[in-house]
């Protein structure tokens, strides 16, 4: 065995040991989930929605909130129409449906974090005496299952956590390979990340939208101080650092729209990956210190989840490929038979690709099969999504490297899937026939 092979073996063992615990997460996610007990407590909630040119979808979100199996007197909806175009009707639609709307026009400070800060500060001024028990945060393209707030209320009043995130499903699951891949990714995250963490009493994280925070954490007077391009990760890691527990409620289901083109997908994922690097660099040292000081697995787990370990692993695999090519070139120069060497290299590359595809296929398929009845799509779409997920992830690989060097700014994603919860229920009924 060469020195290079020994180095490869050592690094593979180290990476395997660091991430081996996630096998347990998969087992837990397949067989268990956290159930929260019924409660007689009906907490009051404010709802925060940031929308930019969302006239096609935001009305369906407000309708789904109005149709909740929950006391409507306990719910108040606030919307920031953020940098909307002059002809856009986002603000008008929200006002007509009973929401309190604040319009924001600031082209210098762009992004959801700045919009939420503006919204909260305006709520504090206009409604100084309004003090609900907690605040929901949604994106304009979301729609809620009829029992969403009721289930979140059970988790919120369980005393298990200060922030509650929920099950993220897709309202355009069959919208092509991009939508399918992203949809499976969120199902996988809910099943094999959020679920085991909550069962093991480990703090999880929020993924952009569909979460509830106690008013002790989210207070309009303090605004929203998280303005990174991935404000959700910044909010998550900062609250974990401060000792605020983030839990997951599997029975609270909301739906959002996934990008359907590679251009939209790459733009969105580039921002997410760049934001993950920025947040990791900002919190890694404090997390390592707290991990050593407290022996808390929460810090280790979140450190591993947001670390650039995927980038390092992929980069090392590519480096191995270059080494193999150099070896073939040296063989050619020495006059040795080069064809067998090249065939061996191509065989190794093909084998590596197939194993990567198979691993991702199994990982994604387990999540889809586990949540088969919950996914609102046809059987054909579910099966295709299992095949599409590995391709989706592999095609996103360049982002891990480009995001290291590219300057990334927040840009809106256009939403056009104007469906309501009744449409999704009809789609589900058709898929089961």
Contact between 315 and 273 under an 8 Å Cβ cutoff? The reply is no
Taking the domains of the chain in order of start, what are their residue ranges? 1-433
Q: What is the pLDDT of residues 190-215, one digit of tens each?
A: 999 999 999 999 999 998 899 999 99
* pLDDT of 388 higher than 90: yes
Amino acid 17: pLDDT: 80
Amino acid 339: pLDDT: 59
Amino acid 194: pLDDT: 96
Q: What is the pLDDT of residues 244-287, one digit of tens each?
A: 999 999 999 999 999 999 999 999 999 998 998 899 889 999 99
3-state SS track over 26-64: HHHHHHCCCCCCCCCCCCCEEEEEEECCCCCCHHHHHHH
* pLDDT of 42 higher than 80: yes
Amino acid 374: pLDDT: 93
Would you give the end-to-end CA distance of the chain in angstroms? 58
Helix axes 177-189, 262-294, angle to 10 degrees: 20
Residue 12 sits at the vertex; the CA angle it makes with 8 and 15, to the nearest 5 degrees, is: 140
Distance CA 155, CA 157 (A): 5
Q: What is the pLDDT of residues 279-307, one digit of tens each?
A: 988 999 999 999 998 889 999 999 888 87
Distance CA 235, CA 275 (A): 12
Query: What average pLDDT does this structure show over 212-230?
Result: 94
* pLDDT of 406 higher than 60: yes
Q: Mean pLDDT across the chain, nearest whole number?
A: 88
Q: What is the pTM of this model?
A: 0.89
Q: Which fold is adopted by the domain 1-433?
A: Spore Coat Polysaccharide Biosynthesis Protein SpsA; Chain A (3.90.550)
Query: What average pLDDT does this structure show over 58-81?
Result: 97
Q: What is the pLDDT of residues 90-140, one digit of tens each?
A: 999 999 999 999 999 998 898 899 999 999 999 999 999 999 999 999 999
| Number of H-type helices and E-type strands within the chain | 16, 8
CB atoms closer than 10 angstroms to residue 16 = 9
Give 24 or 426, the one with higher predicted confidence.
24
Q: What is the pLDDT of residues 167-179, one digit of tens each?
A: 999 999 999 999 9
CB atoms closer than 10 angstroms to residue 58 = 28
Amino acid 322: pLDDT: 63
Residue 228: which of 112, 402, 347 has the closest Cα? 112
* pLDDT of 423 higher than 70: no
State what percent of residues in the chain have pLDDT above 70: 86
Distance CA 140, CA 64 (A): 12
């Amino acid at each position: 065995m060469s020195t290079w092979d020994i180095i490869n073996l050592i690094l593979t063992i180290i990476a395997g040991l660091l991430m081996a615990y996630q096998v347990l997460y998969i087992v837990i996610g397949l067989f268990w989930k956290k159930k929260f007990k019924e409660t007689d407590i009906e907490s009051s909630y404010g709802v925060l929605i940031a929308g930019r040119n969302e006239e096609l979808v935001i009305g369906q979100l407000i309708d789904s909130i109005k149709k909740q199996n929950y006391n409507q007197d306990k719910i108040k909806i606030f919307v920031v129409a953020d940098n909307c175009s002059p002809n856009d009707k986002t603000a008008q639609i929200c006002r007509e449906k009973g929401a309190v709307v604040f319009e924001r026009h600031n082209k210098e400070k762009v992004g959801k974090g700045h919009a939420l800060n503006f919204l909260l500060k305006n709520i504090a001024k206009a409604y100084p005496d309004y003090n609900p028990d907690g605040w929901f945060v949604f994106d304009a393209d979301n729609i809620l299952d009829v029992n969403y707030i009721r289930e979140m209320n059970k988790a919120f009043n369980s005393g298990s956590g200060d922030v509650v995130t929920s099950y993220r499903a897709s309202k355009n699951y069959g919208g092509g390979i991009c939508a399918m891949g992203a949809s499976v990714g969120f199902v996988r995250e809910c099943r094999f990340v959020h679920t085991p963490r909550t069962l093991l009493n480990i703090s999880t994280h929020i993924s952009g939208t569909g979460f509830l925070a106690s008013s002790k954490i989210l207070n309009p007077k303090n605004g929203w101080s998280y303005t990174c391009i991935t404000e959700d990760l910044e909010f998550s890691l900062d609250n974990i650092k401060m000792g605020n527990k983030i839990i997951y409620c599997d029975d609270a289901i909301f739906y959002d729209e996934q990008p359907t083109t590679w251009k939209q997908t790459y733009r969105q994922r580039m921002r997410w990956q760049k934001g993950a690097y920025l947040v990791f660099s900002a919190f890694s040292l404090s997390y390592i210190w707290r991990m050593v000081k407290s022996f808390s697995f929460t810090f280790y787990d979140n450190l591993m989840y947001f670390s650039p370990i995927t980038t390092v692993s992929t980069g090392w695999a590519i480096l191995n490929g270059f080494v193999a090519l150099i070896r073939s070139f040296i063989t050619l120069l020495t006059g040795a038979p080069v064809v067998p060497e090249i065939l061996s290299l191509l065989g190794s590359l093909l084998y590596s690709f197939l194993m990567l595809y198979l691993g991702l296929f199994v990982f994604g398929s387990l999540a889809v099969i586990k949540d088969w009845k919950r996914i609102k799509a046809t059987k054909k779409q579910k099966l295709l999504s299992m095949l599409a997920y590995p391709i989706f992830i592999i095609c996103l690989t360049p982002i891990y490297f480009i995001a290291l060097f590219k300057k990334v700014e927040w840009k809106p994603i256009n939403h056009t899937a104007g469906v309501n919860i009744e449409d999704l229920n009809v789609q589900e009924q058709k898929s089961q026939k």
